[in-house]
Structure 1
Amino acid sequence: MPQAKALIAVDRMTGQERWRRDAGYGYQVSGDLVVLSKGIDETPDSRTFEVVEAATGRTTWQASALKVVIFDKAVYTVECAGPKLDTRHCATMRRDIRDGSALWPEPVSGIVGDDIIGGWGRQAPAEPARLGFAPGNPGAATPLAARPQALIDTASGAVLPVRSTYGAWYSLGAGDQLILTDHDAKGSGPCPIAIKAVNAESGISSWTATVQAGQRKDGDCQRLTAPGTSAYIGSGSRIAVTTATGAPQLFDLATGAAVWTAAERATPIDGDDRSLLVSEFADQGALALLDIQTGERQWTAPDPGIDGYNVPIRSVVTGAQVVVSGWDTAGPLTIVYDRETGREKNRYRGWLGGAGPDWVAVVARAGNAARFEFYLQR
């Protein structure tokens, strides 16, 4: 795709430009606010972010930090005595997304994590009650992979007493459980993910389990259950995985047990608190929508011809629609399905730029340039 030159906000009814920022910003949307971040985790002199009104582009507050984690109601800032994220020299503060005011009495020594269940793309996810946290002062000689993990209570800033040194890809909370997952695990099944749960109050090991990531058509492992993000597909304490035989499964991290297992082979690729979108393989194939509470198949759709091996499939499950985008033999393609029936409603030549309950945005090619297209769905 052509390189973006600016971030532009437009009126959804007229397409008229409302405001813009220079290129180089990442962004996440929370209601009527947008958090713009530039240079986060890069160099000490380029770590600014600002919170702006989505309608006007007016900056409500701005700051700088070495790491920023954004949720629907709060922004976490990690500031360090140096240019690197090192728990020995960093502290985390939770701030009100509306005005930047501190929500804890003082910063907490250590680094907050951003691993969550649920969330998609540019939409700021709901803030969990507890987050993974790497406490400060682990000891100068402690290797990064062996530094302890804990949970932090997001309302109070209190770090729960238990520290686990289990090396993990991701750490997150599920009720009282500190969940640690290892996507490099060795074990039975084609793409094993080892999960360990420790009670974050008592330190007692609650359970261990091995689930599976999805497989691409060529047999390679997807490894991440929600590619390109720090999120797991799912809702609450429940995540979507697969079994050793390749069937979709909803697994509850609070209990360490499967809620349901589907009968037919498929790989979860997206979802929300109502539905789970699956495809035949992690990178391509026929589609189906499942009820996330029961695993019941609601509809199926033929293979759209998208091959996601070199260019990952993008998708959105929202409102009354399911949107899937990727690359077919003719180039980038975005398809809109009716969420209730699976009927194909529209298809557009271009990349999925974003989607909401009743709209789809597509970035189409126009020679060497890119053209933004916005479509209301009825």
Structure 2
Amino acid sequence: MWKNVEKSRINESNCEKIIGLLCEEGLTEEAVCALEEMKHNGLKPSLKIYNSIIHGYSRSSKFEDALFFLHEMKGIGLKPKTNTYDGLIQSYGKYKMYSKIDMCLKEMKSDGCSPDQVTYNLLIREFARGGLLKRMEGAYKSLRSKRMHLDSSTLVAVLEAYINFGTLKDMEKVYKSLLKSNAFLKEDLIRKLAEVYIKNHMFSRLDDLGDDLASRTGRTDLVWCLRILSHACLLSRRGMELVVQEMEDAKVPWNVSIANIILVTHLKMKDFMHLKFLFSELPKLGVKPDIVTFGILFDARRFGFDETRILVMWRRIGLLDESVKIDTDPLVLTAYGKGSFLKSFEEVYASLTPNAREKKWTYQSLIDLLVKQNAQQLQY
């Protein structure tokens, strides 16, 4: 209907736009039909049209079709450009076909297309995501030797590769470079860095991470969590107090992650006086305990802490009848582990039938189950 309104609409420019849009939506077969109709009307396809179809097929892993149109393009005298091969390289990386990337680079060079800045950044990212560190570093050296720009997204991919392999020295070097750029620091990236530091007992680095993140995103919950976790892991009571004071000055309310970090630190210090006080203050602080909080309470019981009054208070305010949930930041569990209570619950839960697992679990039913399964450990 669109074409019949005005025949002049059937031209190279409009066909190029339509085929490009079809390929972007994954409708590559329809795009090929449009290409054939274009030829039928005596119109000459452009390089952009062939690129759209080649990239469309490669994105859906139909590489034989992609290469067919690459060769067809060459056959009608259209010379591929660097971005023609960039799309193929990206898709080969997506499907972890790294040997095909080598073949693609060879064909690319034989066609007189030299890898440019986009190509090298692409190669670095794909090799990084595939865990091919030597090839990633080789592409990085080539980029630097040609004095080309390293994209911030490429730098992030390199950092994540070093994080995954736990290479601390290289990880920190790249992270410092990332800080000098204008790249946005995503929270999941900061979390990955924090996990590496925690596993290597480099707790003071968590405070630095929190400051770095705050300078980019403001003082979020993760920032406060990292900062207080840093001092808590070092068992620095003074450090924790300073962070808590900063939170109060900034009028930042407590959350269950902050509370659980401080609670478990008091437990490690066997400081039952402050442990009891904080458990009692949670309602006033507006903090609703989660299963991790319960775990700390019952783990403290194993060391002689009397949890009776706390449970009575929680029962009185209706907390024991609420559904079991976990709101604690995962980094807290990374730093301290799950504790005996949570491990016992997981073991018991795993032994239940599927129907029993799907029932509504309250804190009271959870406690009753563990008391029934292991009365000697959890009697109250």
TM-score, normalised with respect to structure 2: 0.26
Structure with bigger helix share is 2
Bigger radius of gyration: 2
User: Between Structure 1 and Structure 2, which shows a larger proportion of strand residues?
Assistant: 1
